């Protein structure tokens, strides 16, 4: 992701910090001077946000989903999971893992702090800030967990609510109800922020919730519409391929002519593989005329005409390619068409406009 940089990893999952979060840390550091209590609170809070996001990621991995990375923003963390599970029970379990982790951490810290400072029992009832780091972190974790359990998109609670509903009704209907609830929560937060100026931050949160719910509705509607679109509906029947004996310079010419970002390799009508743009760009320009296509690493990836473009698009994203050859199901070495990322984007835009 742009404007973010890696600060570490956990269980092989990269953790990145967005530049805006770094700016927040600097601003809080300056505003906290000379006591820096707020600064340490923010640092520890976002450490717990990492635990929150790791919980999502661990459950996602348990179900076989790849987690690309975790990115920390000023408004919280985001776990970039390769795909949203089709199984509703998997979705709500992945979603609820984060808030439950925050609540467990919060109540554990609360128990420890009350053992050390039993006089804080009155602060628990008032949900007040005490100035004690351990106690305040406990209440912040509990608040984080409870807030994320609100059944409104884009919070975790919205996905939990949709997942539980989708076990009983259609996924699209479950999404619609969850989106309605999310928008209602967003509007209520904005109204409360206007009516009670001391809670003015609720205006920003409410707008964030409303927009998030709207985007979720749009994405689900489009995905539902595209689920019925087959590869044969949007593929190109005209194929521009290269021979293994051709030079890399000639391969690039074919790619530019056909507006491909990768090169299809075919010999005597038999599909050989795909040479990616990234691999070609690794070769210096002055060396491309001397090297042959057959000397390059090939990706042996293809799709069938009756496959869903959503499933094929997942493969293209995972393999980092912009086109995929469509082969005959009875003869997988025969190319019958080409599906490009541009064609998928066009289908997406048409569904969006409809």
**Strand residues in 27-180 grouped as ranges (E):** 67-73, 76-81
Q: CA angle 142-79-43, nearest 5°?
A: 50
**Out of 91-105, 178-192, 339-353, least confident range:** 339-353
pLDDT for position 1: 46
Tell me the domain boundaries of the chain.
Answer: 1-149, 157-226, 231-353
Residue 238 annotated to the active site? no
Between 69 and 59, the more confident residue is 59
Segment 109-115 shows an average pLDDT of: 84
Report the C-alpha gap between 87 and 75 in whole angstroms.
28
pLDDT of 28-60, one tens digit each?
Answer: 777 767 777 777 887 888 888 888 888 888 888
Q: What's the rounded Cα separation, in Å, for the pair 283 and 291?
A: 9
* Confidence category of residue 221, pLDDT binned at 50, 70, 90: low
Higher pLDDT, 70 or 1: 70
Q: What is the pTM of this model?
A: 0.64
Task: Write the DSSP string, 88-100.
Answer: HHHHHHHHHHHHH
Q: What pLDDT, on a 0 to 100 scale, did the predictor assign at position 222?
A: 66
**pLDDT score, position 84:** 65
Give the model's pLDDT for residue 100.
93
d(Cα 66, Cα 118) in Å, to the nearest integer? 44
**Tell me, what's the pLDDT at 235?**
85
Residue 125 has pLDDT above 70, yes or no: no
Average pLDDT for residues 259-287, to the nearest whole number? 84
- Using the predicted structure, report yes or no on whether residue 185 has a pLDDT greater than 90: no
Q: Which of 80, 83, 214, 100 is nearest to 156 (CA)?
A: 100
For range 180-205, the mean pLDDT: 85
More confident residue, 121 or 56: 56
Mean pLDDT of the chain: 80
When the candidates are 3.30.380.10, 3.10.580.10, 3.40.600.10, 3.20.20.220, the CATH number that belongs to 231-353 is 3.10.580.10
Residue 189 has pLDDT above 80, yes or no: yes
Q: What is the pLDDT of residue 121?
A: 64
Show the tokens assigned to 300. 């042996």
pLDDT digits over 8-31, tens only? 777 778 888 777 777 777 777 777
Q: Which of 53, 91, 216, 266 is catalytic?
A: 53
Torsion of CA 273, 278, 280, 282, to 10 degrees: -140
Say which residue, 20 or 336, is predicted with more confidence.
336
């Amino acid at each position: 992701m742009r404007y973010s940089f890696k600060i570490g990893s956990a269980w092989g999952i990269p953790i990145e910090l967005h530049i805006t979060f770094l700016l927040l840390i600097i601003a809080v550091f300056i505003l906290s001077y000379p006591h820096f209590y707020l600064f340490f609170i923010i640092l520890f809070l976002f450490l717990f946000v990492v635990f929150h996001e790791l919980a999502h990621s661990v459950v996602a991995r348990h179900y076989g989903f790849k987690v690309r990375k975790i990115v920390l923003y000023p408004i919280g963390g985001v776990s970039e999971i390769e795909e949203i599970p089709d199984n509703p029970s998997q979705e709500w379990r992945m979603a609820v893992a984060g808030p439950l982790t925050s609540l467990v951490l919060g109540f554990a810290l609360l128990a420890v702090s009350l053992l050390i400072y039993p006089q804080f029992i009155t602060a628990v009832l008032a949900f007040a800030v005490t100035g004690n780091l351990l106690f305040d972190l406990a209440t912040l974790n509990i608040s984080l967990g409870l807030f994320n359990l609100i059944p409104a998109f884009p919070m975790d609670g919205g996905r939990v609510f949709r997942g539980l509903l989708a076990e009983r009704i259609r996924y699209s209907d479950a999404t619609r109800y969850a989106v309605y609830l999310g928008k209602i929560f967003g509007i209520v937060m904005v109204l409360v922020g206007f009516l009670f100026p001391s809670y003015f931050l609720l205006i920003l949160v409410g707008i964030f919730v409303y927009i998030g719910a709207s985007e979720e509705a749009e994405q689900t509607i489009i995905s539902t519409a595209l689920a019925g679109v087959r590869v044969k509906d949007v593929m190109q029947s005209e194929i521009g391929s290269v021979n293994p004996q051709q030079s890399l310079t000639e391969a690039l010419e074919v790619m530019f002519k056909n507006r491909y970002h990768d090169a299809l390799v075919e010999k005597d009508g038999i599909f050989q593989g795909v040479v990616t743009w990234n691999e070609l760009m690794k070769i210096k320009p002055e060396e491309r005329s001397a090297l042959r296509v057959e000397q390059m690493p090939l990706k042996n990836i293809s799709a069938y005409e009756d496959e869903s473009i959503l499933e094929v698009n997942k493969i293209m994203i995972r393999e980092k390619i912009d086109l995929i050859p469509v082969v005959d199901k009875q003869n997988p070495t025969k190319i019958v068409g080409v599906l490009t990322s541009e064609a998928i984007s066009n289908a997406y835009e048409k569904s969006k406009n409809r």
